[in-house]
């Protein structure tokens, strides 16, 4: 990675930071859940289902859009990621079935097994994210122009449901470093319709600490981008 690539659009790192945060928090919550407490079990399910939808949507976006950017110039680079998706999808489907079963009939033994299966999935998922960020994205920067990268982003953004976008922001806003988060919100303030920006601010107020949210509000202010 060079200094030049640091200022180019990265199709992986921001969303992967969000996914890591979501999975780490979910795993910690599963580990401390009292499976005899109906409220704690329900709270774990409420965190799991939106994250599951986001994980599945992200894989679909990569398969349909992001990995396709190299099809005409270097398809071999993306082949391992596509194969990993199939293996990880199998693990995720099994994990989803386990969540359904354990939440429907919770007990400490089944809950511990679910926690371990979740941790195993996370352990399998992390190297995949690393490979996409360090191998695939580097090749995209090497072989593809900024307009092509921007068009790819536009396609998968258009393919994102409002529900998945909301979940994405719930994890992405607290997962990003302050300068990156500030820049993201400033770009949204300059380009997105007011209702979209208002939705981002509402999510930010809910998931960020007061200092971080104050910075987000400053980034969204008209004087910050106009």
Dump pLDDT digits (tens) for 152-166. 999 999 999 999 999
**pLDDT value at 2 more than 50:** no
Quick one: 49 and 153 in the same domain? Answer: yes
Query: In the chain, pLDDT over 90 holds for what percent of residues?
Result: 94
For residues 92 and 56, the answer to whether their CB atoms sit within 8 Å is yes
For residues 174 and 22, the answer to whether their CB atoms sit within 8 Å is no
179 CB neighbour count, 10 Å cutoff: 9
Q: Is 99 left (phi over 0), alpha (psi -120 to 50) or beta?
A: alpha
Quick one: 128 and 221 in the same domain? Answer: no
d(CA 101, CA 104): 5
**pLDDT value at 226 more than 70:** no
Pair of tokens at residue 25: 């928090």
d(CA 215, CA 15): 20
Residue 189 exposed, middle or buried by CB count within 10 Å (0-12, 13-18, 19+): buried
Dump pLDDT digits (tens) for 86-135. 999 999 999 999 999 999 999 999 999 999 999 999 999 999 999 999 99
State the CATH number of the domain containing residue 8.
Answer: 1.20.120
User: What 3-state class would DSSP assign to 82?
Assistant: helix
**pLDDT value at 1 more than 50:** no
Residue 166 domain-assigned? no
Looking at residue 5, what is its pLDDT? 46
Model's pTM, two decimal places? 0.94
The last residue of one of the domains, among 160, 186, 216, is 160
Q: Whole domain around residue 212: which residue ranges?
A: 176-226
> Domain count of the chain?
2
Of the candidates 64, 66, 82, which has an alpha carbon nearest to the alpha carbon of residue 14? Answer: 66
């Amino acid at each position: 990675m060079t200094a030049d690539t640091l200022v180019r659009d990265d199709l992986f790192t921001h969303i992967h930071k969000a996914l890591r945060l979501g999975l780490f928090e979910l795993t910690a919550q599963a580990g401390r859940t009292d499976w005899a407490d109906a409220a704690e079990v329900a709270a774990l399910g409420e965190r799991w289902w939106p994250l599951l939808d986001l994980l599945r949507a992200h894989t679909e976006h990569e398969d349909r859009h992001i990995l396709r950017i190299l099809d005409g110039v270097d398809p071999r680079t993306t082949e391992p990621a596509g194969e990993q998706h199939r293996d990880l999808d199998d693990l995720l489907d099994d994990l989803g079935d386990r969540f359904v079963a354990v939440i429907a009939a919770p007990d400490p033994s089944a809950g511990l097994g679910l926690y371990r299966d979740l941790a195993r999935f996370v352990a399998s998922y992390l190297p995949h994210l690393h490979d996409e960020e360090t191998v695939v994205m580097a090749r995209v920067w090497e072989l593809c122009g900024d307009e092509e990268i921007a068009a790819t982003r536009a396609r998968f953004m258009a393919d994102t449901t409002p529900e998945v976008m909301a979940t994405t922001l719930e994890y992405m806003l607290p997962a990003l470093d302050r300068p990156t988060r500030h820049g993201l919100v400033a770009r949204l303030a300059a380009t997105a319709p007011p209702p979209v920006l208002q939705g981002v601010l509402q999510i930010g107020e809910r998931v960020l600490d007061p200092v971080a949210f104050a910075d987000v509000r400053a980034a969204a202010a008209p004087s910050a981008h106009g």
